[in-house]
Structure 1
Amino acid sequence: MLHSGAAAVTPGIRSTTDAAIAAEAEHSPHNYHPLPVVVSTGEGAWVTDVEGRRYLDCLAAYSAVNFGHSHPRLVAAAKAQLDRVTLTSRAFHNDQLGVFVTELAALAGKDMVLPMNTGAEAVESGIKVARAWGYRVKGVASGEANIVVMAGNFHGRTTTIVGFSDDPDAYNDFGPFGPGFRTVPYGDVGAIAAAIDENTVAVLVEPIQGEAGVIVPPADFLPGVRELCTRERVLMIADEIQSGLGRTGATFACDLVGVVPDLYLLGKALGGGIVPVSAVVGDADILGVLRPGQHGSTFGGNPLAAAVGTEVVRMLAGGEPQERARMLGARLHERLGALVGDGIVAVRGAGLWVGIDIDPALGTGREFCERLMARGILAKDTHGQTVRLAPPIVVDEADLDWAVDELAAVLSEVSDR
């Protein structure tokens, strides 16, 4: 594989990079702090910038590009649908939606699929469904429903969702926020049990907390939540927007511990890195509480998104992406684990999803990402000291080894300062 730096940089092209970054800085709100690279093309696990320099993408758009950039099956599905019809709204039926929801429901072992667009929309939809179920099925008094959520959670950026975040960057200056959420420590079944009362309609949980730093809970946590929710007649809602669809070496991260939630919240990879597609997936006795006119989206379930989503589901149905993530993930974790104590404090994760805690004495996570970028690897930091790696599942084993070698070189370089 031709690694980063092999392509010559044409004199004068640097101004193109500078101009693109300057245009964003001048005309876009500063709600992101991206690394100073301007991506122009992508294929598989690699992207190329406007200078012709290649980078191994170890973020995969926060798992939205699980199957790699420009995957031929997904691109073909999108192109074929572009020539037919792309949007009808849900005022009419289209010939792609029925296929999509049928095959996704089968993949998840559920009855129904509520399609939306973004992950945050899936979370908002899950909250609405849980509340409606609580009032119409469980018999909770009107306006009294509550949902138990986890400390350290990240479920999106809408005002409802940031209202139950404990990250000041997420919620400061965006209130007031609505009531109805109770926060407990992640990984503590006892705390969840103590927070549940007769008005609790759901427990909302990430099987692995991504934004928090790829935090993996104790092995008995999700099974304990499942047992508790069943006993207390409370819905278990699993936010698998980042952890789902092959990333962890299984179709869903819940599969790793043999747990089936009442509702799956899906997104990111469901759109194949081409279009935004999300979904709430559950059985008819829960999703069936929605009635005409009570929830919807102009673009949700559009035929273009459905066509791409169907191809994603078919790729997953064979199990090959999941097995590849499991096998490559085992190698990645083994190699990174060998670096613990040499500038790395801890390594966590599952499959091709890793959180690496950097020794504060050596620098911040952001600084390490900048150093990795200079070596041709794109990664993302979170919470100060953690570097996240989540390469596309199609990444070559040799490229994965090279990325770890480059990280080791950065650690050695910084330690020798």
Structure 2
Amino acid sequence: MTARDPLPAFAGQIISAQGDTLIDASGRRIVDLASGGLGFGLPDIIGKVREQASVMGLSNRVMMSEPLLTLCRELAGMLPPALSNAYVCSSGDEAFEGALKLCKGLRPQLRRLAHIRGSEFGSLSYGRCLEEPEGYGQLRRFLGLETLTVERDGALPSIAELSQCYALCYSPLVRQNDGSLAALPPERLLAVAALARSAGVPLVCQASETCLGAAGTMFGHELSGVVPDILVLGGALGGGAVPIGCYFTSAERAYQVYGCSSPAKHGSTTGGNPLSCTAALAALESMIGKLAG
């Protein structure tokens, strides 16, 4: 095989997608039930992405493009007032790690993270360690990370225990003992939120896998009626066209860590680029239409 030869196809290789259906190299059709309420290849979204790509696709994160500013305003207008500041990243996983960076900045002397068992936090370093609290020992030592597991039911940690953590993280759907996913009972999350606020610990909701209709609501956190201190979005937010993620918090909390620095400066090099923001705006428009219909 030379450098110019095509790579051989294998059955697990996805070659196309339309709606909620993926096609692999053998022609097998696979229904993706985790792609949110939009799926892939929606003509309206793809058309707007193509139009934006012809003008300007990527940009450095310090450039405040019109799609970036419009997306931040649109999302902030749809979320509770306590979630006014948007930090746009390249994916939901990256946005979750950015949210933890913000929490660490609020309480830099601490090294412990609390999490609700069964929550899904993504595939990057901290997400893996929280999803498998008994695993990744070597990675935990490298990160200097300690964890406190809050069970889905039963006794909660004490205020003193939780106050030694710099964040308490959860996802709107949690994995049960039988492997299924279910929403946390609202009364349980209300109790957890009250505990977090008594301990002065930010409550972080990682809703990347449940936003834009995947859980039957627009953003996922609405399932419990609890407004988190920090909300992380991703996944279907990119409309199945371009990956994007973002995290939201209050202006007061953001100012404590970042001061007057531009939110655009806190992410990867091309995070919040015009192409991904255009895809997210088109996805929001599409989902608003679906929910209204």
Which band: TM-score by shorter chain?
A: 0.7 to 0.9
TM-score (norm 1): 0.60
Look up the equivalent residue of 2:258 and give its one-letter code. L
Alignment size in residue pairs: 279
Q: How do residues 190-269 of structure 1 correspond to structure 2 at under 5 angstroms?
A: 190-193=155-158, 196-209=161-174, 213-269=180-236
Partner of 2:40: 69
Deviations 1:134-191 (A, max 9, x none): 3xxxxxxx522533113334312333333344267x7266453333543224323742
| Contact 1:108–1:281 under 8 Å retained in 2 | no
Task: Please report how far the alpha carbon of residue 85 of structure 1 lies from its aligned counterpart in structure 2 after TM superposition.
Answer: 0.3
User: For 1:12-60, what per-residue CA distance to the aligned partner results, in whole angstroms no more than 9, with x for missing partners?
Assistant: xxxxxx9412xxxxxxxxxxxxxx444433222233444555x25133x
- The worse-fitting range, judged by mean Cα deviation, of 209-218 and 252-261 is 209-218
Q: Take 2:61 and 2:154, find their aligned partners in 1: how far apart are those partners?
A: 40
Gaps of 5+ in 1: 1-17, 22-35, 135-141, 325-417
Q: Could you report, residue by residue, the CA deviation over 1:221-243 in whole angstroms, capped at 9, with x for unpaired residues?
A: 11212222233322111110112
Q: TM-score, normalised by structure 2?
A: 0.82
SS at 2:174's partner residue? Answer: coil
Would you say the 8 A contact 1:148–1:196 is kept in 2? no
1:165-180 paired onto structure 2 within 5 Å? 165-166=131-132, 171=136, 174=139, 176-180=141-145
Helix, strand or coil at the partner of 2:142 = coil
Instruction: Look up the match of 2:148.
Output: 183
Q: Aligned partners of 1:152 and 1:271: how far apart in 2?
A: 25
Q: Larger Rg: 1 or 2?
A: 1
1:133 maps to which of 88, 106, 109:
106
Q: How does 1:336-355 map to 2 (within 5 A)?
A: none
Question: How many angstroms apart in 2 are the aligned matches of 1:266 and 1:192?
Answer: 27
1:3-402 paired onto structure 2 within 5 Å: 19-21=8-10, 36-50=11-25, 52-53=27-28, 55-59=29-33, 62-63=34-35, 66-109=37-80, 110-134=83-107, 142-144=108-110, 146-166=112-132, 171=136, 174=139, 176-188=141-153, 190-193=155-158, 196-209=161-174, 213-288=180-255, 289-291=257-259, 292=261, 295-318=266-289, 320-321=290-291
In structure 1, give the amino acid aligned to 2:275: L
SS in 2 for 1:220: helix
Contact 2:9 2:25 in 1 (8 A): no
Q: Which runs of 5+ in 2 are unaligned?
A: 1-6
Sequence identity percentage: 23
Higher relative contact order (CA 8 A, sep 6+): 2
